[in-house]
Structure 1
């Protein structure tokens, strides 16, 4: 009976003029053609063959994939009232129906987004530079004694986010709070493509026949308990944190009601998201540093000219560092941290380029296809910061597009500019053994380079002395 219903569903969908794509099989759709690794690269090859907007059948579910900035802008930015929602299955994938990233477009999403914008506006992020400076100086000091850069990047990002959210630094990186979020993120990374995504009828199975439902329920309960506990703990202390700010704003917005669980999830998502993505981009920077020496040398020459060897670079130096800014933007493009993009959902029927996109259709901007669009980025596989200097208005999807763009982009950009400029200023980064494969990336929602070994050599005794002096000075003054 189930197979008969799927067959009827496929037959009814054939009447709709979806965008082109690889020929699907009954029931399976295109699942048999999608590799287990680097799916985003396969999608790019299909865009090259079928065009910038294609349909891929995940079992019985059609997914419209966007493979050019032109299409992504036309739909996600120019028609946001249609393309700003999320598919219902995403809440199971992220383990919560209260995290803003999975909320459908509507009043509840606007409430959460208002609070996030209050915490993470460009102006508000200037208040966080002191914390970023402290965490960055500890990071530079620790790289004098260890080459485990992935661990130290994760500590940096987790400590920054947790201290801003809850008032407690993660000075070691192995604290129980960090481990708990790592456990949650590992569960999430594999759960977006649930069986019910490809075969929605499976969602009607009882929980004992659908173990993914049990995992989703565990994620929801665990996240809610963790976020609520950490917020209550932060509110009992005098140090002003995101938890305090959210409560103050919610109390003053009497025309909009916020319950405790919603506020806890607004603060929690900032920590959860910030503890991984920034660290992954910094790992990509190290990959660039060992494989793209000419670009590294040029950035170091610019830093030496502007900053010298008597102090570390600061964010206020950025206007005088155009190549450094271009370098960071190219790191974000060259290996996108969310290569497959996040899932959007249409809230009403639409037509585009003579194709039909019904209400409830999943629409995904494939970031790999966008960032490797030859019409926008000639020779896209080449690492060329100069392209951003020649055309500062080049598009980017590093932080998403449209109304669902990442609200933490200003904080993340400040962290990236600060850490990358200081690491280039402080260290020569050399590969140990064979050069890493630049395409060897991990799988999941977010992607990072697979492990490889490097050594960090201070560029001079003077650079090392400044790193040590600055770390000691901030260590003695922090609370």
Structure 2
């Protein structure tokens, strides 16, 4: 069969394009980075920060052959993760957490190119995607935070539990219209158990489970040596399904009985006949509220109480502002926010000083890319290292110092960079509940400062200072610490009880 001139021309064009593509890859090096160094087992973001200072804003490492790209500059992270978000927004496939433990349908683990991801994001955005949308729920936030103050007055030693229960109560009301019971709520209990397991599984997804690196292991029987992870996964799977099924079925029954309160569930369910697929999507979207919202809010509020214990001069300055603007006969509300600039700056410093997700969440590149002259291979894991972005000495003066005033302009000195430009993530993976978290954490800070003094705990006349250290994990939580939390006066004590 004769080859025509057109065939030759097409073949030449294909060869030219292939040569150009491959030579283009050869002409552009991988980003610089350390060679053959093992990753530290915990708090990898600290090592990433060192490498960012040494090698530059884009660092490449190889972990068991997997290319990992670390970004240490907001401008670079924005250019790659937002402006090129169409192919920088997928997630790694987590065999243990996603496939085996049943979490693959939750929004944080969804692949960005899938239809379910887009629909979940849209539906959540309609409810809480803007400050104006979140403002509809200010009264709910205020009521739940007043309940938190009462619980702290009664049981100040249970700070962590009280913070978590309040965050859970807000999320369950928003997601399902569900009001938790004051003690031992069964829905909250199963959700809390599931989220504890989810946190553990995602924390360990970087290598503690070999199945994440060798997916074929998921087919081995649980009784075989090395198959113990499958027994763990089976238990976690039961819990993850209960987490989405129990509150969903409870809300469905209330809707049928005409007892349902307005919520994300009713917004998407009322007056509609959903297919099995759509109902399953709604179930996991509602579950995603809790997965994405509670642990991060708990971390930030816990950090606030730690900071007030360690930096009493900041606490006094914030209380002086609240006393001057609001007085002592009522609690702050969301309507007061614009009139409390130092409290606002304190919130910003909480987000900056100890970022909730210090290492940033992982993005996966779905096609080869050239950025700033460097070759970024398809399939690379990309992390915007939030710790470095928020502690960069080129951006923040004395970054290790806790100083809310850095966010208040003084004379010719402008405010330093708002941490929100990176503390909630980037692009299509930015936290969909950022306005919810921003509002609820601010309110907790303002109300707590208005009525409580937080101080170092004393034992036999000796101060027991917190270590200030944080536990390892995807989401940063302070090491357990003791502090004294007492009403500022008899008047504030009465104010808490009167609410």
Q: Deviations over 1:9-36 (max 9, x none)?
A: xxxx999832222211xxxxx4xx3333
Pairing 1:35-434 to 2, within 5 Å after superposition: 35-89=40-94, 91-92=98-99, 95-106=102-113, 107-122=115-130, 123-147=132-156, 148-172=158-182, 174-192=184-202, 193=205, 195=207, 202-205=214-217, 206-208=219-221, 211-212=228-229, 215-216=232-233, 218-237=235-254, 238=259, 239-248=261-270, 251=272, 259-390=278-409, 391=415, 394-396=418-420, 397-432=422-457, 433-434=463-464
SS of aligned partner of 1:276: helix
Aligned to 1:476: none
In the alignment, the residues of structure 1 paired with residue 428 and residue 335 of structure 2 have an alpha-carbon distance, to the nearest angstrom, of 29
Contact 2:28 2:370 (8 Å CA) reproduced: no
Task: Please give the root-mean-square deviation of Cα atoms over the aligned residues, in Å.
Answer: 2.6
Q: Assess, with a 3 A threshold, how the Cα gap between structure 1 residues 14 and 191 changes in structure 2: closer, same or farther.
A: farther
Contact 2:81 2:426 (8 Å CA) reproduced: yes
SS of aligned partner of 2:383: strand
Segment drifting more, 128-137 vs 306-315: 128-137
1:258 to partner: Cα distance: 5.4
Unaligned stretches of 5+ in structure 2? 1-24, 410-414, 458-462
SS of aligned partner of 1:236: helix
SS of aligned partner of 2:453: strand
Q: Assess, with a 3 A threshold, how the Cα gap between structure 1 residues 376 and 23 changes in structure 2: closer, same or farther.
A: same
Contact 1:345 1:361 (8 Å CA) reproduced: yes
In the alignment, the residues of structure 2 paired with residue 300 and residue 171 of structure 1 have an alpha-carbon distance, to the nearest angstrom, of 32
Q: Assess, with a 3 A threshold, how the Cα gap between structure 1 residues 115 and 57 changes in structure 2: closer, same or farther.
A: same
In the alignment, the residues of structure 2 paired with residue 358 and residue 217 of structure 1 have an alpha-carbon distance, to the nearest angstrom, of 35
Q: Assess, with a 3 A threshold, how the Cα gap between structure 1 residues 234 and 98 changes in structure 2: closer, same or farther.
A: same
Q: Deviations over 1:44-74 (max 9, x none)?
A: 1121222222123222212111122122112
Q: Assess, with a 3 A threshold, how the Cα gap between structure 1 residues 137 and 17 changes in structure 2: closer, same or farther.
A: same
Aligned to 1:10: none
1:283 to partner: Cα distance: 0.6
1:138 to partner: Cα distance: 1.0
Contact 1:303 1:425 (8 Å CA) reproduced: yes
SS of aligned partner of 2:359: coil
Q: 2:486 aligns with which of 443, 447, 457?
A: 457
Q: Does 1:17 align with 2:41?
A: no
In the alignment, the residues of structure 2 paired with residue 262 and residue 389 of structure 1 have an alpha-carbon distance, to the nearest angstrom, of 43
- Count of aligned residue pairs for this structure pair: 447
Contact 2:365 2:377 (8 Å CA) reproduced: yes
Contact 1:92 1:191 (8 Å CA) reproduced: no
Q: Assess, with a 3 A threshold, how the Cα gap between structure 1 residues 451 and 119 changes in structure 2: closer, same or farther.
A: same
Contact 1:348 1:358 (8 Å CA) reproduced: yes
Contact 2:456 2:484 (8 Å CA) reproduced: yes
In the alignment, the residues of structure 1 paired with residue 61 and residue 227 of structure 2 have an alpha-carbon distance, to the nearest angstrom, of 25
Segment drifting more, 136-145 vs 50-59: 50-59
Contact 2:28 2:373 (8 Å CA) reproduced: no
Unaligned stretches of 5+ in structure 1? 1-12, 25-29, 471-479
1:173 to partner: Cα distance: 5.7
Q: Deviations over 1:130-186 (max 9, x none)?
A: 221111111111211222211110111011111222233334364232332232223
Normalising by structure 2, report the TM-score: 0.83
In the alignment, the residues of structure 2 paired with residue 100 and residue 108 of structure 1 have an alpha-carbon distance, to the nearest angstrom, of 9
Q: Deviations over 1:406-450 (max 9, x none)?
A: 111111111111110011111110111321122x11111111111
Contact 2:67 2:377 (8 Å CA) reproduced: no
Aligned to 1:5: none
In the alignment, the residues of structure 2 paired with residue 61 and residue 364 of structure 1 have an alpha-carbon distance, to the nearest angstrom, of 13
In the alignment, the residues of structure 2 paired with residue 392 and residue 200 of structure 1 have an alpha-carbon distance, to the nearest angstrom, of 40
1:200 to partner: Cα distance: 6.6
1:328 to partner: Cα distance: 0.3
Normalising by structure 1, report the TM-score: 0.87
